[in-house]
């Protein structure tokens, strides 16, 4: 039997790693490549392969059997080349989360119409086979919630801030070692994690929401003082993406959250990702592993290629495209205990003013801690840390604004949810 012929669009870290990984395969062979620059120095020799200046032309070419898109971006040539391959009835494998999150519904319909496979395991959590688990292993179950730590850049930076580094210093270090892009907005702003959550939602619930439907907060609102105060309570700060299905709809949230040190979401300081799904009747399932890097991502791409080589197709999002939607009624999600940190003027009646403001929002206080501020510029101020009884997560932004507007509060009041401990 002849080998399946692979065309690779995009020869960055992942594309080069994929070519190395597929060398010597008995079932597939790379025959064509395309990238921005043919003459750029790369860790692999591309001279044995047909070169295409235009990846769209390569996607349409009859000289290859599977098109692999590793160029990135939600639109432009990445979208055009994937559409061209699917229009030709050619299977597509991609690692492009932005493309799938933005145009997944239309691409799923096109793939179904043309009888072509579209696989994207590498688009979420790199080396963690969560797409396969949701599409195949958990397909017979009723998934009610899914949450995870999905961004290695934020995971690394928050761990550095736990050591006392400022946000800016942590970001600079992440960029120095290659964990963060020169423009880190997609990562630190929560957009990267939100795109991944949208894809997981399509598989779990049949809903591929736009980012406008999500409550997204990045880690750029966090301070070293927030993280230190949480640590004093035995809580670790993570960027958590969460989708929860309730009777009245689905709640989508991405933002800083505090978890106990014994929680599986506390997965260390590097590029590790973890996804936890609640499924009836199975219970709670967790998958973790390397979420980024050339080797991990290329391995996920290769796994999809092998799946196609074995003749496995099936719906793009575990159900017919006609059953998918981009909209679902918004739900409020679970109530959460809240963590509040505020720098306030030291004087009589200050705590009463804070608790009165919380009472007006119908939020009950559980604990209060206070300590003098050590910063010279904050002489005469104290740091107050409050934990509350469960309250609607949707109130967080408004509550921070309300507390920040109190005359006794010097800086923006920090308010973050505390996630319950996950049972082993």
**pLDDT tens per residue, range 105-128:** 999 999 999 999 999 999 999 889
Give Cα separations from 342 to 3, 76, 239 (angstroms): 63, 45, 21
The domain boundary, picked from 291, 313, 343, lies at 291
What range does the domain containing 261 cover? Answer: 130-291
Tell whether the model's pLDDT for residue 424 goes beyond 50.
Answer: no
Identify the weakest region by mean pLDDT among 235-239, 240-244, 312-316, 409-413.
Answer: 312-316
pLDDT, mean over the chain:
92
Same domain, 231 and 342: no
Q: Whats the size of the chain, residue-wise? A: 424
Same domain, 258 and 340: no
In a domain, 81, yes or no: yes
Same domain, 86 and 143: no
In a domain, 298, yes or no: no
Same domain, 219 and 342: no
Collapsing DSSP states into helix, strand and coil, what is residue 296? helix
Average pLDDT over residues 243-256: 92
Residues 104, 196: Cα–Cα separation, whole Å: 12
| pLDDT classification of 376: cutoffs 50, 70, 90 | low
**Structure-block tokens of residue 417:** 């949810």
In a domain, 297, yes or no: no
Same domain, 223 and 345: no
**Pairs from 262-268 (Cβ < 8 Å, separation ≥ 24):** 262/421, 263/236, 263/419, 263/421, 263/422, 264/288, 264/422, 265/147, 265/148, 265/149, 265/236, 265/238, 265/240, 265/419, 265/422, 266/236, 266/238, 267/149, 267/155, 268/155, 268/159
Average pLDDT over residues 365-369: 95
Q: CA 49, 297, 291 angle in degrees (round to 5)?
A: 165
Q: 57: domain CATH number?
A: 3.40.50.720
In a domain, 181, yes or no: yes
**Predicted structure pTM score:** 0.93
Same domain, 163 and 247: yes
Give the annotated binding-site residues: 97, 181
Residue 196 annotated to the active site: yes
Same domain, 136 and 285: yes
In a domain, 403, yes or no: yes
Whether the Cβ atoms of residue 368 and residue 384 lie closer than 8 Å to each other: yes
Same domain, 27 and 97: yes
Residues 373, 339: Cα–Cα separation, whole Å: 18
In a domain, 183, yes or no: yes
Same domain, 151 and 285: yes
The domain boundary, picked from 291, 322, 351, lies at 291
Which residue has tokens 């030709």? 88
Q: 6 has which bridge partners?
A: 30, 66
pLDDT recorded at residue 179: 82
**Local structure of residue 54 (DSSP, 8 states):** -
Give the annotated binding-site residues for L-homoserine: 181
The domain boundary, picked from 226, 259, 291, lies at 291
Same domain, 208 and 278: yes
Q: Which of 79, 90, 147, 196 is the catalytic position?
A: 196
Looking at the structure of the chain, the number of domains it has is 3
DSSP 337-403: EEEEEEEEE-STTHHHHHHHHHHHTT--EEEEEEEE--SGGGTTEEEEEEEES-B-GGGHHHHHHHH
Give the annotated binding-site residues for NADPH: 97
Residues 161, 219: Cα–Cα separation, whole Å: 11
Q: 246: domain CATH number?
A: 3.30.360.10
Same domain, 179 and 278: yes
- What element of type H or E holds 105? helix 97-114
Q: 375: domain CATH number?
A: 3.30.70.260
Residues 415, 353: Cα–Cα separation, whole Å: 17
Same domain, 91 and 140: no
């Amino acid at each position: 039997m002849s080998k399946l012929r692979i065309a690779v669009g995009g020869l960055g870290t992942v594309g080069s790693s994929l070519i190395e990984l597929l060398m010597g395969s008995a079932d597939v062979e790379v025959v064509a490549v395309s990238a921005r620059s043919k003459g750029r120095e790369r860790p692999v020799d591309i001279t044995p392969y047909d070169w295409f200046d235009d990846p769209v032309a390569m996607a349409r070419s009859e000289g290859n059997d599977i098109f692999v898109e590793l160029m990135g971006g939600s639109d432009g040539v990445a979208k055009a080349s994937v559409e061209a391959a699917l229009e030709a009835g050619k299977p597509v494998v991609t690692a492009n989360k932005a493309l799938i999150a933005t145009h997944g519904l239309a691409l799923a319909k096109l793939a179904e119409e043309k009888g072509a496979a579209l696989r994207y395991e590498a688009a979420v959590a790199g080396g963690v086979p969560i797409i396969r688990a949701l599409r195949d292993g958990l397909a017979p179950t009723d998934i009610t919630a899914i949450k995870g730590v999905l961004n290695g850049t934020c995971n690394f930076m928050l761990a550095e801030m736990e050591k006392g580094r400022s946000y800016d210093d942590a970001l600079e270090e992440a960029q120095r070692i290659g964990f963060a892009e020169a423009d880190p907005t997609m990562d630190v702003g929560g957009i990267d994690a939100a795109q991944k959550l949208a894809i997981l939602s399509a598989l779990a619930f049949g809903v591929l929401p736009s980012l406008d439907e999500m409550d997204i907060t990045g880690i750029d609102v966090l301070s070293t003082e927030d993280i230190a105060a949480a640590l004093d309570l035995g809580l670790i700060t993570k960027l958590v993406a969460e989708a929860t299905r309730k009777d009245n709809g689905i709640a989508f949230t991405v933002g800083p959250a505090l978890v106990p040190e014994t929680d599986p979401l506390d997965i260390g300081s590097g590029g590790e990702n973890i996804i936890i799904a609640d499924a009836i009747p199975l219970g709670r399932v967790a998958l973790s592993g390397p979420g980024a890097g050339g080797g991990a991502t290329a391995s996920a791409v290769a796994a999809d290629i092998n799946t196609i080589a074995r003749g496995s197709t099936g719906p793009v999002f575990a159900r017919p495209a006609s059953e998918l939607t981009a909209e679902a009624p918004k739900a409020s999600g679970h109530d959460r205990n809240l963590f509040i940190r505020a720098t306030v003027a030291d004087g009589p009646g200050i705590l009463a003013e804070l608790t009165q403001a919380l009472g007006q929002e119908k939020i009950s206080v559980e604990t209060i801690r206070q300590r003098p501020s050590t910063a010279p510029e904050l002489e005469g101020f104290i740091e107050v840390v409050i934990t509350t009884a469960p309250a609607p997560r949707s109130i967080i932004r408004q509550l921070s604004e309300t507390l920040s507007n109190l005359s006794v509060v010097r800086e923006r009041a920090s308010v973050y949810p505390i996630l319950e401990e996950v049972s082993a």
